[in-house]
Amino acid sequence: MPRSEIAELPAHRFNPRAKDSGEMVCVVCLCHFRARELVRILPCSHEFHAACVDKWLESNSRCPVCRTDASEAVPAGAST
């Protein structure tokens, strides 16, 4: 998946108080999210450290958890 398309996917700074689930883990690196880390959200709603999933998406356009194609959600002709 091209970096320009990856950059179009939403991201936010992790706020542990905003999550009901308590501990959240990036399944790419298996590390817990920490306050203020940049987290990317894929179209399937799975969340990962942005750096981890961006690297993953450069070689595989599918979600590491559910295999949903993340590139289908990026509008055609989108640019940064």
- Is residue 52 situated within a structural domain? yes
Per-residue pLDDT of the chain (80 residues; tens, 9 = 90+): 999 999 999 999 998 887 655 568 999 999 999 999 999 999 999 999 999 999 999 999 999 999 999 988 655 544 44
Domain, as residue range, for 41: 3-73
- What 3-state DSSP class applies to 19? coil
d(CA 6, CA 23): 25
pLDDT of residue 80: 40
Domain of 43: which CATH number?
3.30.40.10
Q: Could you give the number of structural domains in the chain?
A: 1
Q: Report H helices in the chain.
A: 3-8, 50-59
Is there a domain that residue 69 lies in?
yes
Residue type for position 75:
P
Q: What is the pLDDT of residue 52?
A: 98
How far is the C-alpha of 39 from the C-alpha of 9, rounded, in Å?
Answer: 11
The predicted model scores a pTM of 0.83
Q: How far apart are CA 17 and CA 6, in angstroms?
A: 27
